[in-house]
C-alpha cells in the first residue's frame, strides 16, 4: 500500500470559519475543517486545502494512443498512461470503479514524482503521457507539474476526462495540454444527476473552452441501452458537437458492456450503434467512429469528400495508413485533420530501453 504525498492544493480560497472553497471542479465544494471534497482526495487541514494524491499512482501502462481513444493525434504512437485514486463522478457503470470509487486509505498505490514519470515515459519510448483510468481533473497539481516537464522533454500530453472542471482549472493546464478525449456521457441533465451525480452543463462548457484554447479535442459517448440510447438524444448531442466543436471533431460512439452497478443491463445492440453513427453523419460530422465493435468499418478513417479509406485499424493498431505527409487524401486532396505524424510500428507496448 502506497504512502500518499500531501501537498497544498491549487485553485482554492479560504472563506472563513476555517472553511475553504475548492475551485478545481464544477462541484465547487465548500469544505469544513477536517473534511474532504466530493472527490475524496482533497482535504481541509487547519483552513488550508491539500491534495492527498500528489504523485500517487494506482495504474501504469504503455497504451496505443488509439485506446484512449484518440484517432487523430499522432496515429500509431504509444502513450505512457497513469491513473490515481478517486473521481468527481459516481458513475454507476464505471469500468474502473476499483480505483475511482475506492477510499484512498484502502488503495494499493506507488509514488511516482513528476520527473520520474517523464523519465519512465522516455524510457518506454512513448510519444506522450496520458492521465487516464480515473479522472485527471482531481489530480491537477500533479498533472500540471508533470505536463510542464513533459513538454520540456518533447513529450505530448493527454487528458482522458469527464470534462467536469472549472474554466480556471482548464485555463491553468491548457498551455501544457495537447489533447483531450472528453466523455460526454449523455445529453440530458437527468442522466448526469441520476447516473453520475453531476451536471451536464459544465461538461459542455469545458468541451467548448478546450477547443477554443487550442487543445486537440475528441469526444466519446458511451451508449447505454434504455438509459441514454434515445435516437433523439443522440441527434441533439451530434448537433451540439457540430455547432460548438466543429464538423471535423472526431466523435466516438462506444458500445456499453455491463459493469459495476449496471450489470442488470445488456450490451448495446450493434444496430443502435450503427444508427448513432448514421445520425451523427447526417448532422454533418465528418469523422464518426464506433468503439467496442470489433471488425466494424466505423473503426476506420475515411475521406469525407471522396470516401477513400485512409486509415485502417485493427483492434487498437493501425494496419494501413494512406494520408499524405501534407495531411491530405491521396485521391482527392481533401485536408484531413490529423495532429502530428504517423508513428508507425516503432516498438511494441511495454518495450523499454533500459
Stretch 328-351: mean pLDDT:
81
Q: What is the rounded average pLDDT of the residues 242-252?
A: 98
- The residue-averaged pLDDT of 264-291 equals 98
pLDDT in tens, 81-124: 999 999 999 999 999 999 999 988 888 999 999 999 999 999 99
The verdict on whether residue 329 carries a ligand-binding annotation is no
Pairing of strands 59-64, 110-111: unpaired
Please write down the HEC assignment for all residues of the chain: CCCCEEEECCCEEEEECCEEEECCECCCCEECCCCECCCCCEEEECCEEEEEEECEECEEEEEEHHHCCCCCECCCCEEEEEECCCCCCCCCCCCCHHHHCCCHHHCCCEECCHHHHHHHHHHCCCCEEEECCCCHHHHHHHHHHHHHHHHHCCCEEEEEECCCECHHHHHHHHHHCCEEEEECCCCCHHHHHHHHCCCCHHHHHHHHHHHHCCCEEEEEEEECCCCCCCHHHHHHHHHHHHHHCCCCCCEEEEECCCCCCCCCCCCCCHHHHHHHHHHHHHCCCCCEEEECCCCCHHHCEECCCCCCEEEEECCCCEEEECCCCCCECCCCCCECCCECCCCCCCCCCCCCCC
Is 5 a residue whose pLDDT tops 80?
A: no
pLDDT category of residue 69 using cuts at 50, 70 and 90: very high
Residue 87 marked as a ligand binder? yes
Predicted pLDDT of residue 3 = 53
What pLDDT shows up at residue 351? Answer: 41
Cell of 157: 500530453
pLDDT at 104: 86
pLDDT digits (tens, 9 = 90+) for 119-174: 999 999 999 999 999 999 999 999 999 999 999 999 999 999 999 999 999 999 99
The share of the chain scoring above pLDDT 90, in percent, equals: 92
pTM for this prediction: 0.95
Strand 5-8 relative to strand 251-255, pairing: unpaired
- Among the listed residues 169, 179, 84, the one whose alpha carbon sits nearest the alpha carbon of residue 129: 179
d(Cα 43, Cα 52) in Å, to the nearest integer? 7
Q: What is the pLDDT of residues 189-205, one digit of tens each?
A: 999 999 999 999 999 99
Q: In what side-by-side order are the strands of the sheet with 216-223?
A: 59-64, 78-83, 128-131, 156-161, 179-183, 216-223, 251-255, 288-291
Q: What pLDDT, on the 0 to 100 scale, is given for residue 337?
A: 98
Domain boundaries 54-298, corresponding CATH code? 3.20.20.70
- Is 345 a residue whose pLDDT tops 50? no
pLDDT of residue 4: 60
22 annotated as belonging to a binding site for a ligand: no
Domain residue ranges in the chain:
5-49, 54-298
Does the pLDDT of residue 44 top 90, yes or no?
yes
Residue 316 has pLDDT above 90, yes or no: no
How sure is the predictor about 352, in pLDDT bands with cuts at 50, 70 and 90? very low
Amino acid at each position: 500500500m502506497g504512502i500518499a504525498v500531501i501537498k497544498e492544493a491549487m485553485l482554492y480560497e479560504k472563506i472563513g470559519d476555517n472553511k475553504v472553497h475548492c475551485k478545481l471542479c464544477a462541484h465547487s465544494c465548500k469544505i469544513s475543517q477536517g473534511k474532504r471534497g466530493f472527490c475524496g482526495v482533497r482535504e481541509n487541514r487547519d483552513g488550508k486545502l491539500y491534495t492527498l494524491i500528489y504523485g500517487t499512482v494506482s495504474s501504469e501502462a504503455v497504451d496505443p494512443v488509439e485506446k484512449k481513444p484518440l484517432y487523430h493525434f499522432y496515429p500509431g504512437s504509444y502513450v505512457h498512461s497513469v491513473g490515481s485514486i478517486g473521481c468527481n463522478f459516481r458513475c454507476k457503470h464505471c469500468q474502473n470503479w476499483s480505483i475511482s470509487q475506492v477510499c484512498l486509505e484502502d488503495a494499493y498505490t506507488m509514488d511516482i514524482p513528476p520527473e520520474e514519470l517523464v523519465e519512465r515515459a522516455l524510457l518506454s519510448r512513448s510519444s506522450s503521457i496520458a492521465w487516464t483510468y480515473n479522472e485527471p481533473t482531481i489530480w491537477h497539481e500533479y498533472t500540471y507539474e508533470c505536463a510542464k516537464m513533459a513538454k520540456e522533454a518533447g513529450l505530448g500530453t493527454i487528458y482522458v476526462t469527464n470534462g467536469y472542471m472549472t474554466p480556471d482549472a482548464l485555463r491553468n493546464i491548457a498551455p501544457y495540454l495537447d489533447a483531450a478525449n472528453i466523455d460526454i456521457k449523455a445529453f440530458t441533465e437527468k442522466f448526469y444527476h441520476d447516473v453520475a451525480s453531476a451536471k451536464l452543463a459544465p461538461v459542455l462548457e469545458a468541451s467548448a473552452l478546450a477547443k477554443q484554447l487550442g487543445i486537440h479535442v475528441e469526444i466519446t459517448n458511451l451508449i447505454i441501452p434504455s438509459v441514454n440510447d434515445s435516437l433523439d438524444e443522440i441527434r441533439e448531442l451530434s448537433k451540439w458537437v457540430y455547432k460548438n466543436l466543429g464538423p471535423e471533431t472526431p466523435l466516438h460512439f462506444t458500445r456499453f458492456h455491463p459493469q459495476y452497478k449496471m450489470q442488470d443491463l445488456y450490451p448495446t445492440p450493434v444496430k443502435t450503434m450503427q444508427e448513432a453513427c448514421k445520425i451523427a453523419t447526417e448532422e454533418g460530422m465528418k469523422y464518426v467512429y464506433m468503439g467496442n465493435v470489433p471488425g466494424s468499418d466505423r473503426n476506420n478513417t475515411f475521406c469525407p469528400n471522396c470516401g477513400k479509406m485512409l486509415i485502417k485499424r485493427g483492434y487498437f493498431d493501425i494496419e494501413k495508413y494512406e494520408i499524405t505527409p501534407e495531411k491530405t487524401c491521396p485521391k482527392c486532396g481533401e485536408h484531413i485533420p490529423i495532429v502530428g505524424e504517423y508513428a508507425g510500428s516503432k516498438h511494441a507496448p511495454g518495450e523499454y530501453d533500459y
